């Protein structure tokens, strides 16, 4: 009777870009890109957590510090995105295409509504 050994499947975790045998070697470029994407996601998650907590309290000191930390996390996103664009140039092009798609929809919406109904400040960067 043959006994099969179960293969352990390592699920990726946000806290580590290394899965499986990658712990014993340097990251490949593909793994680095994935790790940077995880870091961007983690920074956005932290931003959301800090802002939710700031809106959930009346403590002025906590609100100030939490909002400041949320802003720092968003700056970190910018740094990680800058690195991502350098190691994976197609990322920037894909994001730019997504922005263009939204701009087309915004333009259509602005043209279909009466001028006083829509504020240009809402839609322009």
48 and 61 co-located in one domain: yes
Confidence of residue 124 (pLDDT cuts 50, 70, 90): very low
Higher-pLDDT residue of 76 and 22 is 76
83 and 94 co-located in one domain: no
Do 12 and 39 form a contact (C-beta atoms < 8 A)? no
114 and 100 co-located in one domain: yes
- When divided into structural domains, the chain yields a total of 2
- Residue 72 domain-assigned (yes or no): yes
pLDDT single digits (tens) 92-116:
899 989 999 999 999 989 888 876 6
pLDDT single digits (tens) 17-74:
555 555 677 889 999 999 999 999 999 999 999 999 999 999 999 999 999 999 999 9
96 and 121 co-located in one domain: yes
Around Cβ 28, how many Cβ atoms within 10 Å? 10
Range of the domain at 104: 90-125
């Amino acid at each position: 009777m043959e006994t099969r050994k179960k293969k352990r499947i390592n699920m990726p975790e946000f806290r580590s870009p290394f899965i499986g045998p990658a712990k014993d070697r340097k990251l490949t470029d593909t793994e680095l890109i994935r790790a940077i994407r995880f870091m961007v996601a983690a920074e956005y998650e932290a931003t959301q957590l800090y802002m939710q907590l700031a809106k959930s309290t009346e403590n002025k000191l906590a609100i100030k510090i939490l909002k400041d930390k949320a802003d720092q996390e968003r700056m970190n996103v910018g740094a990680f995105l800058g690195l991502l664009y350098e190691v994976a140039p197609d990322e920037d092009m894909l994001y730019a295409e997504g922005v263009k798609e939204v701009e087309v929809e915004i333009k259509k919406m602005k043209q279909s509504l009466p001028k006083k109904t829509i504020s240009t400040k809402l839609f322009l960067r």
